[in-house]
Structure 1
């Protein structure tokens, strides 16, 4: 693999990005003459730079005033960069908050080709057996699995669903589609003792600005402490937290 030698740069790229940086720092629309005075780039070269940056959407030129501002392409790049951030690190404070409020174990699960997997766990009682741990793949009838079934396109989960259906009670599967409709409507999912006797769970989705499901946060505990409907105090709290977390990733919920 070719490595870049220290000190080797593309000067024209540096100059172009310097113009973008200038507009960002100035924080106001700039005319051609303003940019020329601030950069001291020759007029003929500056015209080429501005024309190129405008054509590819990095800058935007107001035709009436002739001023330049940062373009929409930079917003796309910024959101894409945010999308690549470590989601687990960003939601960790929320997991801790939910753990303190609920006094129950809190999980964060991501989608894999083999189904939803637990990638983060905040425990209340180290000796409490929830029937799962980091790296565990969760079944479709768990609160977590139902959220993924409700919000991920059928194309992506078809194979997983087919495998799960082979090992799942047909009567419960018949109810799954109706449950998914309620989950999409209410934004919360419930499961009574899906893995371990006396242990139940409640889960909610985390979306990004593209309305894409990033993952699922789940609260797990003894069945008498875990709600089984959206009117429960803990359910209302989780629904509010769900909206707050997704909003932090740019998700806009429409009423």
Structure 2
């Protein structure tokens, strides 16, 4: 352990050294899966000799590794372990909540987040507007898969095996007859990244829903703005929809994800 009387210059040098090492680690991540020494040095704006010294220290600690066949550098097992631990700490509710509060204040409409539960889309966080639509936006509410904009987004982006049973229950004997229409709807939602409904779940209640993604383009949840007509029109190309998409993209970016192309 360092003494309280440690030379201030030495402490500053250690901090600076840690900062340089962190920058090189970030660059290795940005240039993943592997990069040459010259490209890495150019990327961080440092002399190759300096970068090489730091790389040797990172390799010794397991945070970097060098491919013996190509001499290229990449992240090591220790860096991957830290990255996975950070991913595991990401909480879609924690990340989405403040952004939904801002969106609620901006639009003056109720905004909520739903995640996929064992019974379908479950509301896990709600930011209520003054004219709240409480009947469909209480925490713990389970929304229909095909009878809500939220559920339809889950249907479009989740693997078929995840939604098949619930879809069959909701459609019953009409499943085969509606298969083609559902396929068209899913394709439209995946292409636009947005679903809008007017009075589907409840008469006079309109909604806009957008997916949010985590690492690997994994669907983490769906955020929805819901309100009553005629005040809230839920136009798919209107300013409210554009703002909702921006918020969803910001949440996804914070979680290291993006909508699959």
TM-score, length-scaled by structure 2 = 0.68
Q: Using the TM superposition, give the Cα deviation of residue 72 of structure 1 relative to its aligned residue in structure 2, in angstroms.
A: 6.0
Question: Tell me, what secondary structure is at the counterpart of 2:217?
Answer: coil
**1:214 pairs with one of 210, 220, 229:** 220
1:137 paired to 2:142:
yes
Look up the match of 1:99: 104
What does residue range 140-219 of structure 1 map to in structure 2 within 5 Å? 140=145, 141-166=147-172, 175-219=181-225
1:237 paired to 2:243:
yes
Unaligned runs of 5+ in 1: 1-22, 36-48
Q: Which piece of structure 1 moves more, 67-76 or 233-242? A: 67-76
Question: Tell me, what secondary structure is at the counterpart of 2:230?
Answer: helix
Change (3 A) 1:24 1:163: farther
Residues 141-195 of structure 1: CA deviation (Å, up to 9, x unaligned): 2010000000000011111111222398998876433221111011111122233
The whole-number CA distance in structure 2 between the counterparts of 1:187 and 1:163 is 26
Compute the RMSD of aligned alpha carbons. Answer: 3.6
Change (3 A) 1:154 1:30: same
TM-score, length-scaled by structure 1 = 0.70
The whole-number CA distance in structure 1 between the counterparts of 2:169 and 2:251 is 31
